[in-house]
Amino acid sequence: MKQYLLSVHHESPEEVANVSDEDMQRMFAQVDAFNTEVRQAGVWVFAGGLEDIDSATVVDGRGAQAVITDGPFSETKEYLGGFWVIKAADLDEALEWARKGSAACEGRVEVRPFQGEAE
């Protein structure tokens, strides 16, 4: 089975900061239920939520000395908030899991296959 990355994208740090505690707790419960479903289906590989984008550090090792910079790599409206790595028979199955994950976290989920793995 091919592995897919299902990544959760947020519009902005403000979007997350403005979610009420009640709404956040509901989304946590929904995501927990989704995670349980993914595990029970046997397609779970790994998942995780990420700290706020302000906690990012960028390392550029292309030169003789690495340059380390606080903050996100680029200024952008959207950022990665978390992800799942799943095993799926094909893209259609991965998209169905992404639909369920999107509903659970109440946000958009991007689906991308890993390189070098046959369908």
Asked if residue 30 belongs to a domain, the reply is: yes
Q: 41: Cβ–Cβ under 8 A, 6 or more apart, which residues?
A: none
* pLDDT greater at residue 23 or residue 117: 23
- Rounded to the nearest 5°, which phi and psi values hold at 71? 100, 175
What is the count of structural domains for the chain?
A: 1
Cα 70 to Cα 62: distance, rounded to the nearest angstrom: 17
Containing domain of residue 109, as a range? 9-113
For 57-82, the pLDDT digits (tens) are: 889 999 999 999 987 766 666 788 89
Asked if residue 3 belongs to a domain, the reply is: no
pLDDT for 89: 95
**Is 34 a residue whose pLDDT tops 60?**
yes
Cα 110 to Cα 9: distance, rounded to the nearest angstrom: 8
pLDDT for 53: 81
Asked if residue 55 belongs to a domain, the reply is: yes
Q: pTM of the entire structure?
A: 0.84
For 77-104, the pLDDT digits (tens) are: 678 889 999 999 999 999 999 999 999 9
Amino acid code (one letter) for 105: C
Q: 65: Cβ–Cβ under 8 A, 6 or more apart, which residues?
A: none
Asked if residue 118 belongs to a domain, the reply is: no
Residue 96: CATH number of its domain: 3.30.70.1060
Query: Given the structure tokens 């505690």, which residue do they identify?
Result: 21
- Length of the chain equals 119
b/e sequence 88-107, b meaning 16+ C-beta within 10 Å:
beeeebbeebbebbbebbeb
Asked if residue 4 belongs to a domain, the reply is: no
